[in-house]
Amino acid sequence: MSVWTIVVAAGSGERFGGDKQTVNLCGRPVLAHSVIAAGTVSDGVIVVAAAERLPAANGLLSGIEGAITVVVGGATRSASVRAGLRAVPFDAEVVLIHDGARPLATGALFARVLAAVRAGADAVVPGVLVTDSLRSVGGKVVDRDGVMAVQTPQGFPAHLLRDAHALEPDASDDATLVEAAGGTVVVVDGEPENLKITRSGDLALAAAIFGEIETSTGANSHD
């Protein structure tokens, strides 16, 4: 199967206080870590960046092996995914979607998501159990045993993902759109370390986790 990954990196970075994709994380820019991990299972990677950061994104990715194309994103996350989809070859059979701000996702996680798509799933998401106590905005207790935190990469048969985006809907993730179009979502084991860098403090946490993984495995965390 031809596999392509769209790495979404077109956010404003307002909560981080700047362009988090360019920040150095243990020797590489955050975005580069995400693209390298995606490349372990992909025939090509499409990176979606904000128009004003297009030259910077190209510079960050120079020297990384594989077919990498950088395109301009849209006003919303879903619009950015559609911009990426337009750059994916029409004969691609599987499309994975990953957040550029999740630099600690491993190649093993990408492979696990891909395997579930190849096994026939309509949509695949990695999930991790919630360990915190939860309450709704209104103050009521939420049973954490009935929920999980969803991560990326998410995976889809390409034709189902294209169909789900055909009417240009918006959602917080692509599995939601495929589900709304009639697809069934399969959850595979996520990685607790696969945090999303949102605020400046997350970068220090990611660096600490990266160092622990390197020490325990003696290998790059993307392996």
Sign of CA dihedral 199, 201, 207, 208: negative
Q: Return the pLDDT at 14.
A: 60
Largest CA distance in the chain: 51
**pLDDT tens string 52-95:** 989 989 998 988 989 999 999 999 999 999 999 999 999 999 99
Work out the burial of residue 221: count CB atoms within 10 Å of its CB; fewer than 13 is exposed, 13-18 middle, 19 or more buried. buried
DSSP result, the chain: --EEEEEEE----TTTTS-GGGSEETTEEHHHHHHHHHHTT-SEEEEEE-GGGHHHHHHHHTT--S-EEEEE--SSHHHHHHHHHHHS-TT--EEEEEETT-TT--HHHHHHHHHHHHTT-SEEEEEEE--S-EE-TTS-EE-GGG-EEE-S-EEEEHHHHHHHHTT----SSHHHHHHHTT--EEEEE--TT-----SHHHHHHHHHHHHHHHHHHSS-TT-
The mean pLDDT of 9-26, rounded to a whole number, is 73
Domain chopping of the chain, boundaries: 3-217
* pLDDT score of 123 more than 80: yes
**pLDDT tens string 90-115:** 999 999 999 999 999 999 999 999 99
- 16 — pLDDT class (breaks 50, 70, 90): low
Class of 3-217 in CATH: alpha beta
90 to 70, 94, 158, 187: CA distances (angstroms): 17, 11, 9, 26
**pLDDT tens string 53-62:** 899 899 989 8
> In the structure encoding, which two tokens stand for residue 209, read together?
């986790």
Work out the burial of residue 132: count CB atoms within 10 Å of its CB; fewer than 13 is exposed, 13-18 middle, 19 or more buried. exposed
Q: Return the pLDDT at 216.
A: 62
Nearest of 108, 151, 103, 144 to residue 127 by alpha carbon: 151
